[in-house]
Every structure is written in C-alpha cells, then in structure tokens.
Amino acid sequence: MTRGTRDAALALLSAFLAADRHYRASAGVYGDGGLAALERALELFLARPEIGFVWLALAEDGPGRRAIGACVCCHAISTSRGTLVAKLDDVTVAADWQRRGVGATMLRALGRHLAARGHTRIDCGCHRANVGAWRFYERLGFRPLDEERIALLLDEAAR
C-alpha cells in the first residue's frame, strides 16, 4: 500500500467493517474503534511496512484503475513451523465485483507473493456462521482448526 492507494483501502475496508454482520457480532470484544482506528491502522502500515501490508486487487475502470478488493496481511513467526507465517484479516471485495473470481484471484496472488518471501502458512479467522465465507476459504485450500480465537484487550486488562 502506498499513500496513493491508502484512500482506496480505507473505502473498501471501512465499508466492509461497518456492514459485515459477522464482524459486527464480535466488534465489541475486539475493541473496535471505528473509522478512526482503521485510519490509524493504515498509517501504521505505511510507517512500519515490516509488520504487514494491505493487499489490493485492482481493475481497469474507465481511464484508470480502481481498487475492487482488499485484505490486511500481517507477518508473524510460527513456533510450530519455525518460519514466517501470515495473519490474514478483513478480506473484502466490492459488492459490484463479488462472485466474479476476484477474491480467489486476490488470495492466490497473495499466497504466491508470501511464499516467494518465505512464508509457509496463511492463518485466517472466519465466523462459523458465515457459511459462504467458509466455502470460499475451503475452495482455496484453507482447512478449519479445532480451536477458537479469543481476544484480550490490554487496556482493559491493565485495570
């Protein structure tokens, strides 16, 4: 992501986070800070690219290109693999581009990009009630883990 694509990422991700009922169901536990938090996160990616990035899918749209898909990807180290792995969040495709292969193409390209840089796994959370997303990820080769993600908000834990 560059400063030039920041606004496109902001538009796609803010629409997704505001509207996705599965995300909204756990937003309070995550400590969702709304648009201001998303803007801070994008600034962090620009300031500290070693942590991760926002991956965008672009399409020709009139005289220029338009961002039609986005996902957030952070780097981590896996003790079980002894390698770099990627943590994938907030995968979204613009409504007028859904069901056209954009998401699959975007994640396959991301996988190739990460593998070329030494990552050996992509971890992603998916709400269990989001049946369509589960099918999407399984078609791409993701497999469910027999565990649940849990979160601790550090500002609350310090009280």
Task: Look up residue 55 and give its two tokens.
Answer: 């991956």
Q: How far apart, in Å, are the Cα atoms of 23 and each of 13, 26, 27, 97, 131?
A: 12, 6, 6, 20, 14
If you search the block for the tokens 């899918």, which residue do you land on?
Answer: 57
Cross-strand bridge partners of residue 23: none
Dihedrals phi, psi of 154, to nearest 5 degrees: -65, -30
Dihedrals phi, psi of 14, to nearest 5 degrees: -65, -40
| Grouped pLDDT means (10 residues each) for the chain, 159 residues | 87 93 87 93 96 95 87 97 96 94 97 97 93 95 89 77
If you search the block for the tokens 């495709």, which residue do you land on?
Answer: 93
Predicted TM-score (pTM) of this structure: 0.90
Contact 102, 69 (CB under 8 A): yes
Per-residue pLDDT at 4:
79
What CATH number was assigned to the domain covering residues 3-157? Answer: 3.40.630.30
Contact 84, 39 (CB under 8 A): no
